[in-house]
Structure 1
């Protein structure tokens, strides 16, 4: 805890981390908001899952490109252009009844224009603190992100119950614009100069650290979509929001108490095993909201520490010219995993049952642990250029 308090005393660090949290808050609402709104529009969880998957595919495609474009075009311009364009697409989804093809297309646009807030913030952090503080920085960053996932789902569920799902999607659009403006107003963002990378787009994936990081992120985040889409299908709106908040609350506590204690090469595998343990416990009572909440809390304990450790490895071992694009590709891997998991979960619910989505989480979670164990050497040794 003392290491975290020292970070907050560093000039500019608290301002950057708080403003980027607000800018990214709509993402904490998006799963429930999109699933509820689009399912009501078309009476199909499969369509809702495909639309959510399209959004994540769009963000996966644009992540490394927008992160790379922050160099030549400037972070502020790229962030604000994307935020405004995506917000317009969200408002159209909220206001109008749309045929399946169009709602999936607009969801894709939301993803393609997703502002690279996280890549910008994580590229800035090393300039604000000393190198020995980087583990704590990224552990705190990953922990702080969980505030989004604790408050976001609950907010989305409660607002949808009171005002309708369209109001939640519209609120996401407004918050995206306001938060992006606030984040871009930081002088560190306005003055961010990212040197041109030496390699072509995608060349950074030849780095074993980055590729391993992206694969593990893909599998880990893919596991999240099963429990999130499954919770919405199994439980009522308000309860689903609270259960998802329990997942993030566990991650929040895990980040605070475990995040800066990663001391061995096998720390990542251990954190991921905790996530899998929570998933595996679902089957004792897969329709009991209290039990689901407890299981998700247990799983959450490993999430923020794992994310923080993965991000810190990139900050320590890559130059700034490569770090922004690397974070973009890592985010792409995570979003591809979420897209696949969301689509598979929606199909599993429609074809089998609402609890079938939980199997998606277990399968992805087991694959994540195996991948981390197999890539431990790549993650903990400096890759050759």
Structure 2
């Protein structure tokens, strides 16, 4: 913890972490708020699911695009534009009565305009700290984001059910605008200029490291999404136990990230950390009791933030600075698709064989992740003793001969 205290004393680090967590807080609220609001207005969970799917598709499509825009127009301009449009779309969803097509359109717009905060801050981090501090900073970032998933769903559920779904959506707008303005106004955001990438859009995925980070992110978040569906199906939507088990899952991730953040990242780091997730998730299939699931998922959670930290660090060390934002955008898209796939597969299995089917789905996603990380181990960089800052962009130099 002394190392993290020193890290947070570095000028600008604490401010950027706090601002980006506030700006990203709606990530843990929006899906649930839209689901509850549209269901209340239309009386149909099916309609609400369609609107939520439109928002998710929008997010998946926009991630790499808006992230790449930051190298063209600058971080502040892109964050300002997307925050404004996203806040306006959510505001319309909250205040304007409309039919299902209207909710779909504005749900899609809200997804398309989701501010690329993660891509922005992970591109800024290498400019704030030394190369020795960068890996612990990625680990700290991955750990602290669990705060969002512990508290945001609880906050929005209480507000939406006790006060109203319109108030819940308005609360999201407050976080979007307030957190976004705080981040945009931060001096560090204005000081970092991402060079324009000279490679065609999508070419960064041809880099094996970026592709591996995207695939493993898809599998990791797919496993987590399946488990979340299984926990809700086990204890019911209104069950206090479901919220407690998922909170323990996130606390395990927070503990793992803070505990392992200082460990150097070798080629086998992803396989080892994914194996912890797989062991914990696989253990859930043996009993669906509250205490067994809590213990198993705490163990599984220990590997999640450290695995995410590997993805961020290996991407940073393997691409040019001009490509980092787009690379992180593709990784985020892979994780969003993984969340959708994990939830969908778990849903079908819950309907077919009961809640245990979701835990089987999670175990399969996690096991495949271990297999990918093991068989492709040579594709993971050995970052022990290496500078994990992005590769500098170079310009042709005219010489006189």
Runs of 4+ more than 6 Å apart: none
Deviation, 1:290, is 4.0
Q: 2:386 maps to which residue?
A: none
Maintained 8 Å contact 2:33/2:168:
yes
Q: Are 1:157 and 1:241, in contact at CA under 8 Å, matched by a contact in 2?
A: no
Q: Which deviates more from structure 2 when the two are superposed, residues 150-159 or residues 161-170? A: 161-170
- Show CA shifts across 1:123-179 (max 9, x none): 111111111221111111111111111221222333334224443333222211211
Residue 380 of structure 2 aligns to a residue whose secondary structure is: helix
Summarize the Cα distance change of 1:55–1:210 in structure 2 as closer, same or farther, 3 Å threshold: same
Separation (CA, whole Å) in 2 of partners of 1:156 and 1:90: 14
Contact (CA 8 Å) 1:49, 1:346: kept in 2 or not?
A: no
Distance 1:52 1:343, change over 3 A: farther
Partner of 1:296 in structure 2? 297
The answer for the alignment partner of 2:245 in structure 1 is 243
Residue 318 (structure 1) aligns with = 319
Equivalent position of 1:143 in the other structure: 143
Distance 1:103 1:280 in 2: 39
State which of 258, 273, 296 in structure 2 corresponds to 1:271. 273
Distance 1:103 1:350 in 2: 27
Q: After TM superposition, give the deviation of residue 337 of structure 1 in Å.
A: 1.1
- Matches of 1:344 and 1:49, distance apart in 2: 15
Residue of structure 1 in register with 2:190 after alignment: 190
On the 8 A contact 1:86/1:113 being kept in 2, the answer is yes
> How far off its partner does 1:185 sit?
0.5
Cα deviation, residue 60, structure 1 = 1.6
Question: Aligned with 1:307: secondary structure?
Answer: helix
- Distance, in Å, in 1 between the alignment partners of 2:303 and 2:264 is 11
**TM-aligned CA deviation for residue 28 of structure 1:** 1.8
Residue segments in structure 2 that go unaligned for 5+ positions in a row: 384-390, 392-401
SS in 2 for 1:380: coil
Give per-residue Cα distances to partners, 1:163-218, cap 9 Å, x unaligned.
24443333222211211111100011123211111201001111111111111111
Q: Report the equivalent of 1:256.
A: 258
Please name the residue that 2:380 is paired with. 379
Give me the whole-angstrom Cα distance separating, in 2, the residues matched to 1:216 and 1:290.
Answer: 29
1:219/1:116 Cα in 2 relative to 1: closer, same or farther (>3 Å)?
Answer: same
- C-alpha spacing 1:145/1:48, structure 2 compared with 1 (3 Å): same
Change (3 A) 1:359 1:29: farther
Report if aligned partners of 1:262, 1:309 keep a CA contact under 8 Å in 2: no
- The residue correspondences of 1:28-43 to structure 2 (distance < 5 A) are 28-40=28-40
Instruction: Give yes or no for contact 1:33–1:168 (8 Å, CA) kept in 2.
Output: yes
> 2:395 matched to which residue of 1?
none
Displacement after TM superposition at 1:35 (Å): 4.3
Q: In the alignment, does 2:106 pair up with 1:84?
A: no
Q: In the alignment, is residue 215 of structure 1 matched against residue 252 of structure 2?
A: no
**Kept after mapping to 1: 8 A contact 2:229/2:358:** yes
1:342–1:34 CA distance, 2 compared to 1 (3 A):
farther
Give runs of aligned pairs for residues 99-248 of structure 1, distance below 5 A: 99-234=99-234, 235-237=236-238, 239=240, 240-248=242-250
CA distance in 2, matches of 1:43, 1:219: 34
CA deviations 1:321-377 (Å, max 9, x no partner) are 111111111111111111222333444445654554333322222221112112221
Deviations 1:2-44 (Å, cap 9, x if unpaired)? 2212211111111111100000011122344344444555666
1:21 maps to what in 2? 21
Contact 2:282–2:359 (CA under 8 A) maintained in structure 1: no
Cα separation, 2, equivalents of 1:254 and 1:69 = 34
Give the number of the structure with larger relative contact order, counting CA–CA contacts within 8 Å between residues 6 or more apart. Answer: 1
CA contact (8 A) 2:267 2:382 kept: no
Q: Is the 8 A contact 1:161 1:238 kept in 2?
A: no
* Alpha-carbon distance, 1:379 to partner: 1.6
**C-alpha distance 345-358 of structure 1, shift in aligned 2 (>3 A):** same
Query: Are 2:371 and 1:367 equivalent residues in the alignment?
Result: no
Following superposition, the deviation at residue 380 of structure 1 comes to 1.6
1:271: how far off?
A: 1.2
TM-score normalised by L of structure 1 = 0.90
Q: Return the index of the structure with the highest Cα Rg.
A: 2
Partner of 2:358: 357
Report if the CA contact (8 A) 2:282-2:360 is conserved. no
Contact 1:247 1:299 in 2 (8 A): yes
